[in-house]
Copies of this chain bind each other. A is one copy, B any other.
């Protein structure tokens, strides 16, 4: 199977898994459940659950890891809750996402706040439900460690920390430094990719050293992805990207590209991604699909 067929096949499998863990839309709280599902079923690349599963495959047989689907669904819920809250009028005030009206436009602001809360909470519930399949103390240890990674990477020392710094940088228009920009990218973008790869490996029984190498690998992927995003903002045409060229510049948004220029940014992406692939290919088992996924992700044209 070529890469694109495999990608499509795997994405479909993940859609099936996700659908299995979404709440049924019934009861007096039906509306919040509809709003949650509206957000999650809007599509997207399902990159985080996919990278979790592929990282697990580096260390074990994914069919045998019963906790894996729950954590895959949990991470995608967390990604989606962050989009619902990010889109709120009090945050980015976006009315459209993935070609559909955003959750608060359809269900109202109050319900969108609750839908985001519901997704975040349900993510932890879904992850915690994996303990039901634990029989040995090692099963418990892996699931517990994965819960801790999920919490840390999604929270105030992970994604939420990055969102806070980003919001504040925008609101106060304070002088952006390299260190601060790196903090925002690491936490806002890379943290959930780190969660994906670290949890996949942990559930498959990888040792602490290997999990830490994947943390570094995912950091590189997240940062390269973000810089490439900023590069595309400048170089792509409206036709390819679907949004006005140079919107960052127009919005006076400070990015790696506006701070370092296109040439240096391109070299940085190359350096980061090569190092990421080096790490990936250093484990005793190879996962060529994952390596190609990382390449495609970083060197995308839209």
Report A's interface with B, CB cutoff 8 A. Answer: 23, 27-29, 31-33, 36, 81, 85, 88, 90-91, 108-114, 116-118, 120-122, 124-125, 128-129, 131, 134, 136-137, 140-141, 143-145, 147-148, 151-152, 154-157, 160-165, 167-168, 171, 180, 183-184, 187
Could you tell me the distance between the alpha carbons of A180 and B118 in the complex, rounded to whole angstroms? 20
Chain B residues with CB below 8 A from A128, complex form:
144, 147-148, 151
A interface secondary structure, majority: helix
A90 touches which one: B23, B109, B134, B144 (CB < 8 A)? B109
Tell me how many chains of this kind the complex includes.
2
Closest beta carbon of chain B to A234's beta carbon, Å: 25
A29 touches which one: B121, B122, B160 (CB < 8 A)? B160
A32 touches which one: B31, B113, B131, B160 (CB < 8 A)? B160
Contact of B124 with A32 in the complex, beta carbons under 8 Å: no
Select the residue from A122, A143, A184 with max chain B CB neighbours within 10 A.
Answer: A122
Contact of A32 with B161 in the complex, beta carbons under 8 Å: yes
A88 touches which one: B113, B118, B143 (CB < 8 A)? B113
Closest beta carbon of chain B to A150's beta carbon, Å: 8
Could you tell me the distance between the alpha carbons of A29 and B91 in the complex, rounded to whole angstroms? 16
Interface contacts beyond A117-B117, A128-B151: sample of 19 additional A-B pairs, CB < 8 Å, sorted by A: A28-B161, A29-B157, A29-B160, A29-B187, A32-B163, A33-B156, A110-B171, A111-B164, A116-B117, A117-B120, A117-B160, A118-B155, A118-B156, A121-B151, A125-B152, A131-B147, A134-B144, A137-B137, A137-B140
